[in-house]
Structure 1
Amino acid sequence: MRRAIRSTALLVVLGAVLAVLGSGTAQAAGYRYWSFWEGSGSGWAYATQGPSLVRPADGAVQGFRFAVSADSQDAAKPRHSPDFAKICASTPAEGGAKRVALVIDPGTAADAADGATPPALRTACARVPEDASSAEALASVAKPLRYGSDALLCAISGYPASGCGEQVAGNGDSGQETPADASAPASAGVAVGDDATDGGGPSAGVLVGVAAVLLLGIAAVAQARRRRG
């Protein structure tokens, strides 16, 4: 009888664990957006501020990559090396101005929404005033830019034609467009919001289900003890 009680308890715990793990998989999601990167000799680093706040120095390399990602840990980097000398080779320095090399990577067809075809990756060398921001450098070579109501960078050179930081389910299907705030990913200009599903824990429905499983298990154990008595 003790063995039966132990088996029932183990089944209860296993059911609860599987329910929680299943919830994480079901809620896996990302966001389709333009991420912002800063380049150096060692490669690309995910920017910690939005392009409107960064004021790069002469000789800086900035990257923009359109892709689906949940946060900075899994964000896709621009598919071109941050080579200032090569990108700005034909743009000589001028007094009172600075040069910023830009890599603009619209991503792959897998990242595009509704079967859209992304334009080709391109590079550009922006010559802008010394106090210009990264956003201003981008605007000088890649118009039209489109921004959302929360200053989220939505489109570069008109791509994509619609949408802005929309949530994408784990299976790749787009959900409702999600407004942005400062939580993550921050480098888009403003980040994807906390109000959206963050994929970080089980939903209320799943917790209720786990509680139900536990209650059923407790009832089974109690019934087994009564039979033993």
Structure 2
Amino acid sequence: MGLLLTLFAASPALAASYRYWSFWQGSGGNWGYATEGPSTARPADGTTLGFRFSVSKDAGAEAAKPRAGADFEGVCGGTAAAEGRKRVALVVDFGVPADAPAGEAPPQEAPRTACAQVAPDATAAEALASVAKPLRYNGAALLCAISGYPKSGCGEPITDEAQPKPSAATAAPSSGGGSGPSAGLLAGAAAVAALGAAAVWQSRRRRR
């Protein structure tokens, strides 16, 4: 572990940010980073869920939040409850142009909202699919695209040289598969571990 930390500190060229869809749960009108991914989370009736596409330096609470409030009544207030179904309010924020992959642009500027009516045992992913197809996942069940955006890529690391400059447009409001870029983070850690193993092997060879 100490070797991994040393290599991260000594390798400024390693990716520090990730471009991905983060997953949020609403509580009291505010957003909190989801503790599990949409493919396993089973929201209760009256839940508000948010998804935000952005380049974020850290996975978790520091990622960019959806730019619309976590307001269940505002999204589902006009949808009558139905027996044997649950209502889940969804906020899908495609982000800003600065965070879009090369050659692409967010399909719309403002966050999209929808009220999903799904089976009582439906997952967050199933609720999202009912209102925002097509979805795309990678082999590790990481959510890669919503409504076909982006067309390619999935939680890829962004080098310091390539990542967008911070701006007011990309900052999260103060009120503000896995839920974060777990695949990207694991890939980065694996690369660092490989570098560390190579360094140790070279050192042993020189001693022989």
**Under TM normalisation by the shorter chain, which class is it?**
0.7 to 0.9
Distance 1:20 1:57, change over 3 A: closer
Match of 1:195 among 187, 190, 208: 187
Which residue matches 1:36? 23
Distance 1:73 1:56, change over 3 A: closer
1:73-113 Cα shifts (integer Å, max 9, x gaps): 42000000000001012211011000000000011111111
Instruction: Give distance in 2, aligned partners of 1:106 and 1:159.
Output: 8
Q: What fraction of aligned residue pairs are identical, expressed as a percent? A: 54
Instruction: Give distance in 1, aligned partners of 2:7 and 2:126.
Output: 46
Match of 1:91 among 79, 82, 91: 79
Distance 1:154 1:40, change over 3 A: same
- SS where residue 188 of structure 2 aligns? coil
Distance 1:123 1:21, change over 3 A: closer
Structure 1, unaligned stretches of length 5 or more?
Answer: 1-18, 175-184, 209-229
Shift of 1:187: 0.9
- Does 155-164 or 110-119 show the bigger shift? 110-119
RMSD between aligned alpha carbons? Answer: 3.0
Match of 2:45 among 44, 52, 58: 58
Q: Give the TM-score taking structure 1 as reference length.
A: 0.68
Distance 1:132 1:22, change over 3 A: closer
Contact 1:50/1:189, CA 8 A, preserved across alignment: no
Structure 2, unaligned stretches of length 5 or more?
Answer: 1-5, 165-176, 201-208
Contact 2:8/2:14, CA 8 A, preserved across alignment: no
Contact 1:126/1:141, CA 8 A, preserved across alignment: yes
Q: Give the TM-score taking structure 2 as reference length.
A: 0.75
Give yes or no for the alignment of 1:109 onto 2:97.
yes
Shift of 1:49: 0.2
Distance 1:193 1:20, change over 3 A: closer
Which residue matches 1:222? none
Tell me the matched-pair count.
Answer: 179
Instruction: Give distance in 1, aligned partners of 2:7 and 2:118.
Output: 52
Contact 1:80/1:103, CA 8 A, preserved across alignment: yes
Match of 1:171 among 161, 171, 175: 161
Structure with more of its chain in helix, by fraction: 1
Match of 2:88 among 78, 100, 124: 100
Instruction: Give distance in 2, aligned partners of 1:21 and 1:56.
Output: 37
Runs of 4+ with >6 A deviation: 19-22, 198-201
